[in-house]
Amino acid sequence: MKLSFHGAARGVTGSCFLLKTKDQNGKDYQILIDCGMFQGARYADEANFEPFHFKVKEIDAVFITHAHADHTGRLPKLIAAGYKGPIYCTHPTRPLTRLVLEDSFHIMSENSRRNGDPLLYEQEDVAGVFEQCECVNYHEQITMGPGFTLMYHEAGHILGSAYISIETEGKRLVFSGDLGNNDVPILPDTEPLSQADYVVCESTYGHVLHEDPKGRTEILHQVIKETVEHKGVLLIPSFSIERTQEVLYEMDQIFEHTYHVKMPIFLDSPMAIRATELYRHYQQYLQFEANILEETDKDFFSFPNLHETLQTEESKAINDFPKPKVIIAGSGMMHGGRIMHHLIRYLPDTDCCLFIVGYQAEGTLGRQIFEGAKNVRIFGQEVKVQAQVKAIGAFSAHADQAKLTTWLQPIDGRLPKKIILVHGDPEPQQVFAAHLRHELRVEVVAPEFLEEIDL
Ligand SMILES: [Zn+2]
C-alpha cells in the first residue's frame, strides 16, 4: 500500500493523507484521512486554493478524526471538486464540523465582500458535506472490503475526537489525529494504542513537556479572587471548541464549591456559545471527575451569573456592567472576533488582567502581548498594554512529549515498525524524532508535502 501526505507534512495545519490499498480480492481503494485547511502560515491561503494533488473522483471514502478546521476545512472544496462518497466521523464531530465550516465560510465571505478575496467554495458545498456524513460509534467496525476494515478510538483531544486504526493487506496502520493532554477534566483519556505496524503520529508538542494540569484550577481560582479584590476585569481570550468548555467547567467547580461570589461572567462568542450547547447535548461523550459523578444530571458548563451574549447588542452592553467582571471571548489568539473590542477598552486598564490559556502563534496580536509588547495596534489604533498579562500552559489541548512517547508504546506487544511524524513544525519534529529513536529504538520519519511512501 502507498501513503501520501497532502498537508500537515512538516507543518501543523492542512491535515490530509491519502492511502492507496487493496482488499483481499485485489480490489483497489483510495481513502483520505482528514481534509483540513492550511492556516496561519504566510502561504496558507494560496495552499488552500491549489487544486488537490489526487483525482477527487477516484476517492472511495473520507475519514475525519475530529472537527477542528485544520482537519476538516477543505471538505467543502472536496465536494465542490466532485466528491460524492461517504465522509465518516463520530456523532458529535458532525455538528461540531458544521459549526466550524459555517464559521470559516462566514469569515471568508466577509473578507470577500471587504477585499474582493476569492471564495474557496460556495455555501451549498458546506451543506453537501453534511449530506455525505456517515456517523459511526467508537469501536464500531467499518468494512470497506474483505480484509480491509477501519475503527475509531477515543483521542481525548476535543468532544468526538478520534484516532483511527486500519487493518489492510495483513497490516495494522494507525492515524493519531490530534491526541489530547493528560488529565483533562471533561474528556475521556486517550485510549491506549494496540500493537500496530505503522503509526502516523501528530507531533505538535513533541519537543516539550507541559505544566502539570492539576494546578490549573488553583491558578484560575487565584486570578478570579484577585479580580474581585481589585474590582477589576478578567479577560480570557479563548478558543471556541474545548478550551472554552474547560474554562467554564473549572469555573463551575470554583463558583459552586469553593468561592461563592456574585460577579457577572460573560461568554461573549457566538461560536463558543453554540459549541458549548453541543458539549451539553453530547454530555455522554464527556467524562467528569469521579468525585462529582453523583451530580449526573447537572449542567457542568453553567453557573449562576453566567451570561451568554449571543447578540451584538448584548455584547456591547457588557461595557455598562460595573467591575468586577469576567469576559471570555474569541478569538483565542486575539487576531479577530469580539475580544478585539474588549482589548481596546481594557488593555490600558491597570485593574484588568489578561489571562492567556492557549497557544499564541507567531504573527498574532496574542503573541505580541504574550512576549511583553507595551504598545500594540488594534484596528489601526495605538493601544497601551497596562493590564496584567498572565499565561498558563496547562490548558493545552495537545499531548506533550511524555504523553506521546507513552502512547506510542503499545499495551499489548511490540513497538511499531515505523513511526511517521506529521502535524508538527520541522524543528519540534526533529527534536521529537531524535527523542523517539533514542528512547524506543524504532525507525522514525517525517515525510515532506506530497511525498509518497510504501508501507
Ligand atoms: Zn485539533
pLDDT per position as a tens digit, 398-421 = 899 999 999 999 988 899 999 999
Rounded CA separation 158/182 (Å): 12
In this predicted structure, what is the pLDDT of residue 42? 58
In this predicted structure, what is the pLDDT of residue 45? 76
310 HSE (CA, 13 A, CB side):
5
Distances (CA, A) of 185 to 8, 225, 293, 294, 322: 28, 22, 12, 15, 32
Ligand 1 centroid–CA 81 distance in Å is: 25
Tens digit of pLDDT for each residue in 209-255? 887 777 888 899 999 999 999 999 999 999 999 999 999 999 998 98
Ligand 1 centroid–CA 64 distance in Å is: 11
Considering only CA atoms, which of 432, 427, 423, 444 is closest in space to residue 65? 423
Ligand 1 centroid–CA 230 distance in Å is: 36
Buried b (16+ CB within 10 A) or exposed e, 262-290: ebebbbbbbbbebbbebbeebbebbbbee
In this predicted structure, what is the pLDDT of residue 94? 98
Q: What average pLDDT score do residues 45-51 get?
A: 90
CATH classification code of 2-209+397-454:
3.60.15.10
Rounded CA separation 238/154 (Å): 24
Q: What rounded mean pLDDT belongs to the chain?
A: 93
Ligand 1 centroid–CA 66 distance in Å is: 7
Ligand 1 centroid–CA 74 distance in Å is: 15
Query: Which distant-in-sequence residues (6+ apart) come within 8 Å of 235 by Cβ?
Result: 326, 327, 329, 339, 342, 343, 346, 352, 353, 354, 355, 387
Ligand 1 centroid–CA 178 distance in Å is: 5
Q: Which residue has the higher pLDDT, 114 or 355?
A: 355
Q: What percent of the chain shows pLDDT beyond 70? A: 97
Ligand 1 centroid–CA 318 distance in Å is: 31
Ligand 1 centroid–CA 242 distance in Å is: 10
Residue 205: strand, helix, or coil: strand
In this predicted structure, what is the pLDDT of residue 335? 82
Q: What average pLDDT score do residues 282-308 get?
A: 80
Ligand 1 centroid–CA 398 distance in Å is: 8
Ligand 1 centroid–CA 225 distance in Å is: 32
In this predicted structure, what is the pLDDT of residue 354? 97
With beta carbons less than 8 A apart as the criterion, state whether 336 and 355 touch. no
Ligand 1 centroid–CA 374 distance in Å is: 32
> What protein residues have CB closer than 5 angstroms to ion ligand 1?
68, 178
H or E element in which residue 200 lies: strand 198-202
pTM of the entire predicted model: 0.93
Ligand 1 centroid–CA 321 distance in Å is: 35
Ligand 1 centroid–CA 68 distance in Å is: 5
Considering only CA atoms, which of 100, 139, 89, 177 is closest in space to residue 398? 177
> Where do runs of H (alpha helix) occur along 138-242?
216-229
With beta carbons less than 8 A apart as the criterion, state whether 166 and 182 touch. no
Tens digit of pLDDT for each residue in 82-106? 999 999 999 999 999 999 999 999 9
In this predicted structure, what is the pLDDT of residue 396? 75
Rounded CA separation 25/139 (Å): 25
Tens digit of pLDDT for each residue in 150-197? 999 999 999 999 999 999 999 999 999 999 988 888 999 999 999 999
Ligand 1 centroid–CA 148 distance in Å is: 27
Ligand 1 centroid–CA 160 distance in Å is: 11
Ligand 1 centroid–CA 174 distance in Å is: 17
pLDDT of 297 higher than 70: no
CATH classification code of 213-391:
3.40.50.10890
Q: What percent of the chain shows pLDDT beyond 90? A: 77
Ligand 1 centroid–CA 70 distance in Å is: 7
Ligand 1 centroid–CA 124 distance in Å is: 25
In this predicted structure, what is the pLDDT of residue 107? 85
With beta carbons less than 8 A apart as the criterion, state whether 416 and 199 touch. yes
In this predicted structure, what is the pLDDT of residue 404? 96
Ligand 1 centroid–CA 170 distance in Å is: 30
Distances (CA, A) of 191 to 81, 84, 138: 35, 32, 11
Residue 430: φ, ψ to 5° = -65, -45
Rounded CA separation 350/145 (Å): 64
Kindly indicate the confidence band of residue 360, based on its pLDDT and cuts at 50, 70 and 90: confident
Ligand 1 centroid–CA 227 distance in Å is: 31
H or E element in which residue 266 lies: strand 265-267
With beta carbons less than 8 A apart as the criterion, state whether 203 and 184 touch. no
Ligand 1 centroid–CA 67 distance in Å is: 7
170 phi-psi bin (left φ>0, alpha ψ -120 to 50, beta other) = left
Kindly indicate the confidence band of residue 25, based on its pLDDT and cuts at 50, 70 and 90: very high
Tens digit of pLDDT for each residue in 309-334? 999 999 999 999 999 999 999 889 89
Kindly indicate the confidence band of residue 203, based on its pLDDT and cuts at 50, 70 and 90: very high
Q: Delimit the domains of the chain by residue range.
A: 2-209+397-454, 213-391
Ligand 1 centroid–CA 8 distance in Å is: 12
